[in-house]
Amino acid sequence: MSEAVENQMDAESETQTRILLIDDSKVMRKSAVKMLGGEFDVVVAEDGQQGLDMINDDASIQVVFTDLNMPKMNGYQLLEAVRTSADEGIRNLPVIVVTGAENDDEAKEKALQQGATDFITKPFNSTDLKARAHAHATYQRNTRTLQEVASVDALTGLSNERSFKQHLEKDLSFVARHNHDIAILLLEVDSFNDLFLKIGRKGADSLIQQISRVLLKNVRKEDGLGRIGLARFAVSLPTAGPDGATRLAERICQTVSGFKAKLRGETLEISVSIGLYVPADKGSDLFQQCMLKTEEALQLAANAGGNRVHALIESSDPQQVSGLQDVTDFSLDGLLATLSEEGAAAVEDQIPLAMQRLLPLWQAMTAEQRSALLSQIESA
């Protein structure tokens, strides 16, 4: 650990940890302040919305205690807002749910699924309250400090936003010197907040990890790849032309659309939108412009219904045209063309989706037809 990080952590340890307690009961708020006030800097909120506003506005809050049943925004809604925040520090904030007699095991399970860190039961005593506050405040203080100097996203192992920015700036500088093309992708899971509500934090984390593995499998070693938001990834493709980058984006889109998840008998559709930008001008100083253009392409893909690629191509070559690539309908012809041009490794991730689409046809065939088809395949 660097000396700067150690010094920052020592300085933080000399100040009181700021605790936020959210409860609509004035009695509970006063009790918590009385129990914790001697060792912690305690701030309070009367409902979930006020608590969320304080979390967003005050980066010094290190632990949150929240009731479940509150007006304006309840504890479940607060958990959802915290765990789906674009701010990584907020997403990882310890949230201890304060449960009462009215909260049964099902309520606790739901809170846990939404990302609750811990539970404490009313009526609580000062020993239990202080123990949880100390334990989780230490964790948050240390991890937040380390996050500020880290270059890797903890969940996926990919580059984080800061590290990806550095990689893309180098790539832009390289292609400018050597007069090469570069393509930039932004990928985001469609309707992620709705998915989060259905599958919970563990399911959402698993989905993010699955998508990161798809990206790792499809990009080259020299490409830049990072997770730059809750459900957003960025890819830098130096020396990649518009055609190759578009095929890559379509392949990723098709692969993710083959993911299927079931929840209580309901099949959940999973898809991504991808924005692709190929700039005419390069150079590390154009990083911000490139990201804004790629963001524009991503929003066009998402606004058109998602599960598609939108490409914005700036090129001196009149043959290169920008346009909307809709991959909502899986194309076996496209898969076969990719297989022919790029080999089996390029379509490996798409095989499960292809088989899924062909399954109804297989099931509709008679035993004789299946046998004849297998004979043809073996002799081919």
Sign of the CA dihedral with 199 first, then 154, 232, and 354 last: negative
Instruction: Profile the chain (380 residues) by mean pLDDT over runs of 10 residues.
Output: 45 68 90 89 93 91 91 91 85 87 74 85 83 80 61 86 92 90 95 84 89 93 91 94 91 88 76 94 87 94 92 64 40 67 69 60 74 75
pLDDT averaged over every residue in the chain: 82
Q: Which of 294, 314, 285 lies closest to 169 in space, CA to CA?
A: 285
Asked if the structure places residue 66 within a domain, the reply is yes
Whether residues 178 and 292 fall in one domain:
yes
Last residue in a domain, options 149, 175, 191? 149
CATH at residue 103: 3.40.50.2300
Q: Which residue, chain included where needed, has tokens 């506050």? A: 133
Q: Which residue, chain included where needed, has tokens 């925040």? A: 85
Helix (H, G, I), strand (E, B) or coil at 23: coil
Last residue in a domain, options 95, 120, 149? 149
Residues constituting the chain: 380
- Segments forming the whole domain that contains residue 79: 3-149
Q: What is the pLDDT of residue 11?
A: 44
Whether residues 112 and 224 fall in one domain:
no
Asked if the structure places residue 316 within a domain, the reply is yes
Asked if the structure places residue 338 within a domain, the reply is no
Whether residues 202 and 121 fall in one domain:
no
Whether residues 319 and 183 fall in one domain:
yes
Helix (H, G, I), strand (E, B) or coil at 358: helix
Whether residues 135 and 264 fall in one domain:
no
H/E stretch holding 313 reads strand 308-313
Whether residues 280 and 213 fall in one domain:
yes
Asked if the structure places residue 69 within a domain, the reply is yes
Give the number of other Cβ atoms within 10 Å of residue 73's Cβ: 19
For 153, residues 6+ apart whose C-beta sits below 8 A from its C-beta are: 159, 160, 226, 227
Q: Residues 212, 189: contact at Cβ < 8 Å?
A: no
Asked if the structure places residue 359 within a domain, the reply is no
Q: What is the pLDDT of residue 266?
A: 75
Asked if the structure places residue 339 within a domain, the reply is no
Q: Which of 228, 232, 223, 230 lies closest to 184 in space, CA to CA?
A: 223
Q: Render pLDDT for 211-259 as a digit per residue (tens, 0 to 9).
A: 999 999 999 888 999 999 889 999 999 999 898 999 999 999 999 988 8
Whether residues 172 and 236 fall in one domain:
yes
Whether residues 52 and 101 fall in one domain:
yes
Asked if the structure places residue 75 within a domain, the reply is yes
d(CA 308, CA 295): 14
Whether residues 105 and 20 fall in one domain:
yes
Q: Is the peptide bond before 123 cis (omega within 30 degrees of 0)?
A: yes
Asked if the structure places residue 361 within a domain, the reply is no
User: Residue 237's beta-bridge partner residues?
Assistant: 183
What does each C-alpha distance from 287 to 168, 212, 236, 290, 301 come to in angstroms? 7, 23, 11, 5, 21
User: Residue 185's beta-bridge partner residues?
Assistant: 235, 276
Whether residues 270 and 170 fall in one domain:
yes
Whether residues 196 and 284 fall in one domain:
yes
Q: Render pLDDT for 2-18 as a digit per residue (tens, 0 to 9).
A: 444 444 444 444 467 89
Last residue in a domain, options 129, 149, 169? 149
CATH at residue 291: 3.30.70.270
d(CA 380, CA 376): 6
Question: Global pTM?
Answer: 0.61
As for how many domains the chain has, the answer is: 2
Whether residues 143 and 166 fall in one domain:
no
Q: Residues 294, 249: contact at Cβ < 8 Å?
A: no
